[in-house]
Amino acid sequence: MAFDIEMIKGVYAKFPERVAAARKIVGRPLTLAEKILYAHLWDTEKDQPGGEPTTKFERGKDYVDFAPDRVAMQDATAQMALLQFMQAGKPNVAVPSTVHLDHLIQAKIGASADLQNAMNQSSEVFNFLESVSNKYGIGFWKPGAGIIHQVVLENYAFPGGMMIGTDSHTVNAGGLGMVAIGVGGADAVDVMAGMPWELKFPKMIGVKLTGKMNGWTAPKDVILKVAGILTVKGGTGAIVEYFGEGAKSMSCTGKGTICNMGAEIGATTSTFGYDESMERYLRATDRNDVADAANAIKEHLTGDAEVYANPEQYFDQVIEINLSELEPHLNGPFTPDLATPISKMKEVAPGKGWPLDVEWGLIGSCTNSSYEDLSRAASIAKQAVDKGLKTKADFGINPGSEQVRFTAERDGLLQVFEDLDARIFTNACGPCIGQWGRYEDPKNAPKNSIVHSFNRNFSKRADGNPNTHAFVASPEMVAAIAISGRLDFNPLTDTLTNDKGEQVKLDPPVGDELPTKGFDVEDNGYIAPAADGSGVEVKVNPDSDRLQLLTPFEPWDGTNITGMKLLIKAEGKCTTDHISMAGPWLRYRGHLDNISNNCLIGAVNAFNGETNNVKNQLDGSHGEVPAVQRKYKAAGVKTIVVGDHNYGEGSSREHAAMEPRHLGVIAVLVKSFARIHETNLKKQGMLGLTFANEADYDKIQEDDTFNFLDLDQFSPNKPLTLEVVHADGSKENIVCNHTYNAQQIEWFKAGSALNLIRAMAEA
Ligand code: F3S
């Protein structure tokens, strides 16, 4: 089977002693998240995994090197991550890793036609990912096998483990007691190449769940409520840890739903202590050995009793929710933290102008596509059929995995939905990531409402239509609202008219936490890598416009770099989206040269207030940023980018550092950096510098030329001096601070971190 019990046993063998050491160092009882973090330290002295806890880390302050147990990647982000990994010169990945093909499959007609269509459109990407996985020992889940986070929960997540994944909802694995964190491709490359992974030691938010859910309330409503309390930013830099009797009363996949949407409050991740629901799930998913191993150390796989008894003393913030009183919620539109209890929707919706007629109900996504989710929603759908109700809205269902789909089909759940004319889409992300063929022309589509069980509902996310009001709810509420066709339908109190003209009421949902006859599947879609991949050829068509093998960046020649021109002086906000836009550019995520045509096109030029219009100093003309930069490159002229505060905030997308590097930019000099982007620049062999004196930003003129005066003495804790030569020949020196340590300076010298890793692998 696909999981690695020996690796898990290795983690558990050291877990109790590391927890004890951490408790001693920290000097107080520990939360579960702290235990997992301290049990996964990198040994900085020996530069290898397995560091013993010897330092007390300050939450929200200290940057710490960790050694995660696993890496998971989805098809959109895996492309550049694996193209980079190929540069590391390693025969195999250093930790168990998997690739999941789930994002590039559109939902339109139904599972088999849509899957075939995706194969026709994206086979070169799929073939590349399959061959590169095969070569480097990476588990491969083919298109249709399922959504990454459901498949990870079913196969790989384990209590007390630590994983990273190149997708923000990697956090879903917290449902099985992990610390699982979404990262950019560059971080995944580091861990797969055997390097440490750095994280600012998170703050801790505790959520105490009392009471027990009943009636229409579902785990989804817990996180919809928490999102309403904390808002989309309230969890930033923190791990949310759920505990209390209410937590134990919930299924493992329900816990996964709650952790999944921790991404919507900005949390680093969320987690739950190991309990019987997790044991049941492990056993039901063919992992008795993991359950037995976890049971052997179970007292360590949850927070200390004292922490949960007096949470205010040990968490930075505590929230308490009584599940017995929790009402179903509908969150939205356009943001997942706009929480409306269902009993209030009749008052709220009309005043806001939200369309009351609901056109679609969508069940699925990594958030809510478990067997339990489908069974509870199916119990509502079945009542509709039995009570003579017709659904008013259309239904779309994306099962989370082939195992869930196969079992749900065997148990008649999918037939129930089909009796309501639902469309069963591929086991994939589909509408959740905008892969939904709902409209021919979404930009001009009409105002409407939809309800879905997904996690995100930002404008245009599902169908590209800015006028679609998307509301997030539990799968059973989605079913009830889709059947009624009304946003303000409250199934707890309202009735519906059936085909005989009678008033009927829907009973509360019922479902099975796990299939009573067990899970079943014929082909789960997993392809194991070759035992020896050295002879495997990685398939990339040289004429492809979507994939391009990377060429190593040039090493530094050891001299002061001089004669640099200003590419752009960016003014105001310059996020990774401004530097490397998403949208249609996603298609080129695996082709560095093509995606570089979006380089900095969203940045505002401080000299004319415009985007994507900069002066070409070679001939005085103006042009688009990538085009002008390509002219500099062709002429052998190096360039510099100047920016404002918090340059590179936003996502951890490594393309935002790779593109300027590829096009020949040497340095990025700003007032301040978003830390992840600064690190990404360092990894790609660029100079990420800050003004020692912020006012020097104003000294930079459009026609300036730049010379480093002491780059040949580049060393830690020593600022660099940049000579700025203005068009009138006058000169001034600017002091540039940097945060490069000795290792990072080696990255710069080698041309990139990967060049250095490869050189070490070859040595
Ligand atoms: Fe896919 Fe949506 Fe989850 S895009 S990984 S189903 S958030």
Atom of ligand 1 nearest to the CA of 367: 3
How many Å lie between the centroid of ligand 1 and the Cα of residue 690?
A: 36
For 340-379, write each residue's pLDDT tens digit: 999 999 999 999 999 999 999 999 999 999 999 999 999 9
For 501-515, write each residue's pLDDT tens digit: 999 999 999 999 999
Nearest Cα to Cα of residue 214 among 330, 343, 325: 325
Atom of ligand 1 nearest to the CA of 455: 7
Alpha helices in 62-199 (DSSP H): 75-85, 111-136, 148-155, 185-192
Nearest Cα to Cα of residue 577 among 518, 481, 693, 655: 655
- Closest-CA residue, ligand 1 atom 5, reads 366
* CB-CB contact of 473 with 328 (8 Å): yes
Amino acid at 533: G
- Closest-CA residue, ligand 1 atom 4, reads 433
User: Would you state the structure tokens that stand for residue 154, as one six-digit string?
Assistant: 């079913």
How many Å lie between the centroid of ligand 1 and the Cα of residue 457?
A: 12
CATH of domain 327-432+445-504: 3.30.499.10
Give the side-chain half-sphere CA count within 13 A for 267.
Answer: 36
Question: CB 257: neighbour CB atoms within 10 A?
Answer: 30
Atom of ligand 1 nearest to the CA of 398: 6
How many Å lie between the centroid of ligand 1 and the Cα of residue 427?
A: 11
Residue 142's pLDDT is what?
A: 97
Atom of ligand 1 nearest to the CA of 432: 2
Whole-number Cα distances in Å, 591 to 84, 192, 544, 682? 11, 21, 8, 21
How many Å lie between the centroid of ligand 1 and the Cα of residue 666?
A: 36
Residues 6+ apart with CB under 8 A from 607: 569, 615, 702
145 sits in which H/E element: none
CA 288, CA 279: separation in Å to the nearest integer?
A: 8
How many Å lie between the centroid of ligand 1 and the Cα of residue 434?
A: 10
What confidence tier does 385 reach under pLDDT thresholds 50, 70, 90? Answer: very high
- Closest-CA residue, ligand 1 atom 3, reads 366
* CB-CB contact of 514 with 284 (8 Å): yes
> What torsion do the CA atoms of 20, 26, 28, 31 make, to the nearest 10 degrees?
-80
- Domains 327-432+445-504 and 564-762 in one fold: no
How many Å lie between the centroid of ligand 1 and the Cα of residue 74?
A: 9
CA 431, CA 433: separation in Å to the nearest integer?
A: 5
DSSP letter string, 593-627: HHHGGGBTTTSBBTTTS-BS-EE-TTTS-EE-HHH
Residue 754 has pLDDT above 60, yes or no: yes
- For a pocket test of ligand 1, which of 99, 100, 261, 454 has the largest count of ligand atoms closer than 8 A to its C-beta? 454
Give the side-chain half-sphere CA count within 13 A for 731.
Answer: 9
For 576-614, write each residue's pLDDT tens digit: 989 998 878 888 999 999 999 999 999 999 999 999 999
Q: Which letter, b or e, does each residue of 23-53 get, where b requires 16 or more Cβ atoms within 10 Å of its Cβ?
A: beeeeebbbbbbbbbbbbbbeeeeeebebeb
- Closest-CA residue, ligand 1 atom 2, reads 432
Structure-token match 């006012």, residue found: 695
Residue 280's pLDDT is what?
A: 98
How many Å lie between the centroid of ligand 1 and the Cα of residue 283?
A: 26
Residue 652's pLDDT is what?
A: 77
6 sits in which H/E element: helix 5-26
Grouping H, G, I as helix, E, B as strand and the rest as coil, residue 43 is strand
The overall average pLDDT reported for the chain is 96
CA 511, CA 342: separation in Å to the nearest integer?
A: 21
How many Å lie between the centroid of ligand 1 and the Cα of residue 576?
A: 21
How many Å lie between the centroid of ligand 1 and the Cα of residue 365?
A: 5
DSSP letter string, 338-407: -EEEGGGHHHHHHHHT---BEEEEEE-TTTS-SHHHHHHHHHHHHHHHHTT---SSEEEE--SBHHHHHH
Nearest Cα to Cα of residue 484 among 375, 620, 372, 342: 342
Q: Could you tell me which residues are beta bridge partners of residue 721?
A: 735
Q: CA Rg, the chain, in Å? A: 27
How many Å lie between the centroid of ligand 1 and the Cα of residue 433?
A: 6
* CB-CB contact of 83 with 550 (8 Å): yes
Residue 533 has pLDDT above 70, yes or no: yes
How many Å lie between the centroid of ligand 1 and the Cα of residue 153?
A: 14
Task: Ligand 1: list residues with CB < 6 Å.
Answer: 102-103, 147-149, 167, 169, 365-366, 429, 432-433, 455
In this predicted model, which residue has the larger pLDDT, 676 or 32? 32
CA 393, CA 365: separation in Å to the nearest integer?
A: 19
187 CA to centre of own chain: 12
Question: Phi and psi for 107 in degrees, rounded to 5?
Answer: -95, 120
What confidence tier does 1 reach under pLDDT thresholds 50, 70, 90? Answer: very low
How many Å lie between the centroid of ligand 1 and the Cα of residue 15?
A: 32
Residue 233's pLDDT is what?
A: 85
Atom of ligand 1 nearest to the CA of 263: 7
- For a pocket test of ligand 1, which of 100, 101, 147, 398 has the largest count of ligand atoms closer than 8 A to its C-beta? 147
What confidence tier does 500 reach under pLDDT thresholds 50, 70, 90? Answer: very high
What confidence tier does 761 reach under pLDDT thresholds 50, 70, 90? Answer: confident
CA 37, CA 62: separation in Å to the nearest integer?
A: 13
Nearest Cα to Cα of residue 129 among 149, 148, 143: 143
- Closest-CA residue, ligand 1 atom 1, reads 429
For 677-709, write each residue's pLDDT tens digit: 999 999 999 999 999 999 999 999 999 999 999
* CB-CB contact of 382 with 524 (8 Å): no
- For a pocket test of ligand 1, which of 75, 100, 432, 455 has the largest count of ligand atoms closer than 8 A to its C-beta? 432
What confidence tier does 2 reach under pLDDT thresholds 50, 70, 90? Answer: very low
CA 685, CA 752: separation in Å to the nearest integer?
A: 4
Work out the average pLDDT over 62-78. 96
How many Å lie between the centroid of ligand 1 and the Cα of residue 729?
A: 55
206 CA to centre of own chain: 22
Q: So where are the chain's domains? A: 327-432+445-504, 564-762
Residue 3's pLDDT is what?
A: 54
> What torsion do the CA atoms of 372, 378, 382, 385 make, to the nearest 10 degrees?
170
- For residue 549, the 8-state DSSP code is -
CA 355, CA 349: separation in Å to the nearest integer?
A: 8
Topology given in CATH for the domain delimited by 564-762: Aconitase; domain 4 (3.20.19)
CA 428, CA 70: separation in Å to the nearest integer?
A: 22
37 sits in which H/E element: helix 32-38
- For a pocket test of ligand 1, which of 104, 105, 149, 166 has the largest count of ligand atoms closer than 8 A to its C-beta? 149
- For a pocket test of ligand 1, which of 167, 257, 425, 456 has the largest count of ligand atoms closer than 8 A to its C-beta? 167
User: Would you state the structure tokens that stand for residue 216, as one six-digit string?
Assistant: 């229409």
CA 11, CA 160: separation in Å to the nearest integer?
A: 8
Catalytic residues: 102-103, 167, 456, 651, 653
- For a pocket test of ligand 1, which of 260, 366, 398 has the largest count of ligand atoms closer than 8 A to its C-beta? 366
Nearest Cα to Cα of residue 660 among 697, 637, 686: 686
Work out the average pLDDT over 51-62. 96
Tell if the pTM clears 0.90, that is, is over it: yes
> What torsion do the CA atoms of 570, 739, 718, 720 make, to the nearest 10 degrees?
-20
